[in-house]
């Protein structure tokens, strides 16, 4: 009886592993891709407010003119979001969006003043109140990490291209 239960559990685990290889990263890619794409489109149709916070950008990003930073952020989010959705250039765009998110945390989401860990912890929130709302970017960073380290999963253009290149006869 115990052997049957163990065999059933092993079969279920094996099935979950096979399904996960194809779809495990898909949810992360779709969610992050949509969020970054939406943010980029919002910037594309909005007004550039980077000049107001240029002094908060970390070095070397503080050296880039606000208009160039705005365009770079806008198109990185649009291209990166679309690429994550289809799983193309996943590691490159995950790294690009990771860096972009760190800059956003430093310039926009980190509390302007905090003297204790309790003050800092109060910034771990999702709010429109400005500085001190770094919860969502922290979640994005945590979600980008597996895409960066393990790739997009088998259900992606990256994986399809890799399979095609692997099976291509050498001339």
Q: How many CB atoms lie within 10 A of CB 58?
A: 11
Q: What is the pTM of this model?
A: 0.84
Domain residues of the chain, as ranges?
24-167
Place of tokens 């916070």: 53
| Model confidence pLDDT, tens digit, residues 115-132 | 777 767 777 777 776 566
- CB-based contact 131:108 (threshold 8 Å): yes
Say what the pLDDT of residue 130 is. Answer: 59
Q: Pick from 76, 78, 92, 79: which is nearest to 152 by CA?
A: 92
Interatomic CA distance for residues 136 and 134, integer angstroms = 6
Question: How many Cβ atoms sit within 10 Å of the Cβ of residue 76?
Answer: 19
Tell me: pLDDT of 15 over 90.
Answer: no
The CA-based dihedral angle spanning residues 98, 130, 37, 48, taken in that order and rounded to the nearest 10 degrees: -110
With pLDDT > 90 as the criterion, what percentage of the chain qualifies?
53
């Amino acid at each position: 009886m115990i052997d049957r239960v163990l065999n059933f559990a092993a079969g279920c685990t094996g099935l979950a592993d096979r399904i996960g290889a194809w779809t495990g990263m898909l949810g992360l890619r779709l969610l992050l891709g949509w969020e970054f794409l939406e943010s980029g489109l919002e910037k594309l149709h909005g007004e550039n407010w980077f000049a107001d916070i240029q002094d908060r950008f970390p070095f070397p990003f503080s050296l880039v003119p606000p208009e160039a930073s705005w365009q770079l952020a806008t198109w990185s989010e649009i291209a990166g979001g679309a690429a994550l959705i289809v799983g193309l250039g996943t590691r490159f765009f995950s790294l690009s969006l990771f860096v972009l998110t760190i800059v956003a945390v430093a310039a926009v989401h980190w509390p302007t003043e905090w003297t204790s860990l309790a003050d800092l912890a109060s910034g771990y929130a999702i709010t429109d109140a400005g500085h001190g709302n770094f919860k969502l970017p922290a979640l994005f960073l945590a979600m980008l990490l597996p895409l960066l380290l393990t790739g997009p999963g088998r259900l992606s253009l990256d994986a399809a291209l890799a399979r095609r290149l692997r099976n291509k006869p050498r001339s």
